[in-house]
Structure 1
Amino acid sequence: MALEITRNEIYPEWASSKYFVAAFRLAGFDVLEDSVRVENACGGGGGFMSETLRVQGLTQHGAVASLIVKAPLSDGGGGGGRLGCAGLFRRERALYSRTLPAAEAALKAVEGGAWRPLWPASWGVCGGGCILLQDVAAAGFRKAPGAASARGLDLAHSLAALRGLARLHAASTQTARRDAQVEPLLRESVAFGPSQAPLLQSQARTVLLKMADVLNRYPWFWRYRNKFLQLADTLLPRATHAIASCNEKLTVMVHGDLQKNNMMFRCLKDELEVIIYDFQGAHIGSPAEDLQYFLHTSTSLEVLQRHTDLLLSEYHSTLQHTLRALGLQQQADAYPLEQLRREMEQLAPVGVFSTYNLLPVMLNLEAVDFDLDTTSPSYAANAEKLLQKCFTNPEYLAFAQYLTPLFDKSGLLESY
């Protein structure tokens, strides 16, 4: 039978009804082949670094079954200017096959009936290497209000996100280094690792120079313009060096792209639960890397201004509680709140980089409606339009005007 396409979109050649019926069976569902329907689960062709498809079908008893199928992009490798798509997909597959099952088992053992899932359930790997995941939307999880628009997370959603992150970090501590030995890719940050530096530095420099050009129309920015022009060459190397030289006292599995569009929420019994997904940037490192990234890409400005200390305290409290419940007293003792704050200060360049290179796009994701392949003939023109829109967005301007003086006061805009 022909596969039913719910929208006029292009799908991989392997996406057939027979393939998805086999995938459903692997996940424990016996669906009728002629009932299978498929759609892209994300904008931009199903995700920037993978094909992400939502597939539904009717079981023999008339119930609706739903799952997410993730596959590497069709070009397979790091070509087309993409950040090593095959390598990114290998990271995620490693997380779902090793790190996350071990972390879930550890959390279930100590949390008992209070345990709540933190990531989609996985049913393994189907033909062609595709990852089969739970469709958490079918379980009632939704993006936070305004998550895909020019609004950051409110305090309640930010707290839920960081409490969930603390549980993930704590539960991954026991196996993080061992998993990185099995999968060497997990030893290096995607955004701030040396192997990606040449490609990313060119992009980061272009963004900073464009930002300086756009923001120069605003008087508040004039005193920072020269520092920005110098920062264009030094910001990414400083963030990369900060991560490489950070003497973390607690090694965890860092998510690597912890931002509001990689999480969903639901309210159950007056409790706000979070699901974190898209682990393609995962690697071992300091918890502070995820925290700096999250705070400077995902919270509302009001939360960032007024509640940063509360967020860090709640994260740390949950981390300590979970570490001790897991029997990791030594690791908990080695990571007091003061140590977390020291590592946050060490990794402050990650927050600066996120503010100037990532946050503008996070607040305008709906504008990323073109192919991110840098070899595309239209890429340069589309990227120019996107940056212009991002840097003139009033929501982003408010962040930039608030944070830039703080960064400058801390010496984070200096070119050394």
Structure 2
Amino acid sequence: MDEAKRTLLDLLEKIAKEQKYVNNTVDLKEVSAGGSNVTSALFLSTIRADDKPDLKLFAKVALLNDHARKMSPMKCPFTTELYFYTKLKKQYERIEGKHNVIEDHRVRMPNLYGCYDEYLSETLVLEDLVGQGFENYDRQQPADLEYVTAAIDLMAKFHALSLAFHDDDPVGFKEASDTLTLDMSKMEALVPIVKPKAMANALAAAEGENREKLEKFLKQEPCLLLKFMDTYRSKNRNILVHGDFKPNNLMHRRRNGKLEIVLMDFQMVLDGDPLRDLLYFIFTATDEAFRRSHYRAMLNLYHERLSEALQRFQIDVETVYPKSTYRAQLEEYSMVGLTIAVIVLPMVLVEEEDIPKFDDDYNTDDFVVQGSKLYKERLNGVINNYVEWGLL
């Protein structure tokens, strides 16, 4: 880590020169993500110079070692995020400018000040949003209707940008899509590795009749975990999804009475199915009571907001993602929410002390963690919802 800090300090000095901070001082402080980031060391920095406003920055430095990277079937998260900030984000901003999209309708993402792309030492330096009044979402608190509505609106605008990018520059989009497509054979090879441990943890958390219902669901063939894996496929809809759209990858503030949300952490952006982001967010962000009252409305809201976002680029949603197709996909993926609760939710709600260490002893199934007390409550809430919906 000392070497990583030196690399970061060198990068900060370079940024200071680029921003014309002469005779500057650089303060650097490592901060905790409270369990919401497990692959990077995080830092806050302030660059000061006479007659200049303080430049407040946020830095991410790679922690994953070579062994952990080789064990994962996913693309290197730092390679993906560097590509997003240095290539894709610039295309998105160009397209928003070309179509004169007003500020309130743009996708708010952190600005990049500098980066370092050497393997095992990847570093990103971004604007510090905390210094602008933004807060991290508490990953262990369920989101309310206002927050979920705003987040789904942001998601729809993010997806619309990739459709507009494809419409504007099909060749450039194909390059991005090819770069951000996963090797599905490697993803599917994960199932027999993670399934036994994930099943055991989930069944241990299920209560009463829920345990029997969950066990029956998990034993179905073909394996329903593969349906979740299927959301990593593009379905030829030309949508690049965030891939990890959950509350702790969002930041928010209230300004002039309006809730503003910023999208963070682009380490898993991929050419995938939009329902991956939508279902992933709903089942990691909300609780049983929220879904009982608002689940169907939120599914409808996504397609409505996608249509509105596409209109700003003069694209008709019915030509790229018809409502009939969307409804058919919702039916096809009707059980994915329960799979997300089994596979993803334990890590989202994990206690900080139980986060796996990505060291030389790391194994792929270490990412399947023991569920917390809160996970037990949330999992049973998901099962209860599926029983009420007549799907379990």
| TM-score bracket for this pair, using the shorter chain length | 0.7 to 0.9
Q: 1:104 aligns with which of 93, 96, 101?
A: 93
Assess if the C-alpha contact under 8 Å between 1:286 and 1:343 holds in 2. Answer: no
Q: How does 1:309-328 map to 2 (within 5 A)?
A: 309-328=296-315
Corresponding residue of 1:3: none
Instruction: Give the secondary structure class of the aligned counterpart of 1:110.
Output: coil
User: Aligned residue for 2:123?
Assistant: 130
Partner of 1:327: helix, strand, or coil? coil
- State the partner residue of 2:212: 223
Are residues 1:22 and 2:22 paired? no
Count residues in correspondence: 384
The SS at the match of 1:275 is: strand
The verdict on how the C-alpha distance between 1:319 and 1:67 changes in structure 2, with shifts beyond 3 A counting, is: same
Map residues 123-272 of structure 1 onto 2, 5 A cutoff.
Answer: 123-126=113-116, 128=118, 129-144=122-137, 147-149=138-140, 151-175=141-165, 178-182=172-176, 184-188=178-182, 193-199=184-190, 201-215=192-206, 218-224=207-213, 226-228=215-217, 230=219, 234-241=223-230, 244=233, 247=235, 250-272=237-259
Secondary structure of residue in 1 paired with 2:310: helix
1:402 has 2:389 as partner:
no
Q: Give yes or no for contact 1:259–1:294 (8 Å, CA) kept in 2.
A: yes
Distance 1:293 1:315 in 2: 13
Change (3 A) 1:182 1:397: closer
Distance 1:243 1:212 in 2: 26
The CA RMSD measured in Å over matched residues stands at 3.4
Q: State whether structure 2 residue 370 is matched by structure 1 residue 387.
A: yes
1:21 touches 1:32 (CA, 8 Å); kept in 2? no
**Cα 1:290/1:300, change in 2 over 3 Å:** same
Q: CA deviation at 1:204?
A: 3.3
Amino acid at match of 2:44: R
Shift of 1:230: 1.8
Decide which of 335, 339, 345 is 1:359's aligned counterpart. 345
* 1:341 alignment partner, one of 327, 333, 355: 327
C-alpha offsets along residues 287-332 of structure 1, whole Å, 9 cap, x if unaligned? 2221111111112332222112222233222211221220223x44
- Return the structure number with greater relative CO, CA threshold 8 A, min gap 6: 2
Letter in 2 for 1:350: V
The question of whether the paired residues in 2 share the 8 Å contact of 1:142 and 1:266 is answered with yes
Relative to structure 1, the CA distance from residue 62 to residue 360 in structure 2 (aligned partners, 3 Å threshold; closer, same or farther) is same
Once the two structures are TM-superposed, the CA of residue 94 in structure 1 deviates from its matched residue by 1.5
State the one-letter code of the partner of 1:197.
E
Gaps spanning 5+ residues in structure 1: where? 1-8, 412-416
Structure 2: 5+ residue stretches without partners: none
1:71 equivalent in alignment to 2:61: yes
Amino acid corresponding to residue 395 of structure 1 in structure 2: E
Q: Is the 8 A contact 1:50 1:70 kept in 2?
A: yes
Aligned-residue offset at 1:12: 2.5
- The sequence identity of aligned pairs, in percent, is 19
Q: SS of 2:136's equivalent?
A: coil
TM-score (norm 2): 0.83
**Cα deviation 1:180-199 (Å, max 9, x = unaligned):** 5356341228xxx3323324
Runs of 4+ residues over 6 Å off in structure 1: none
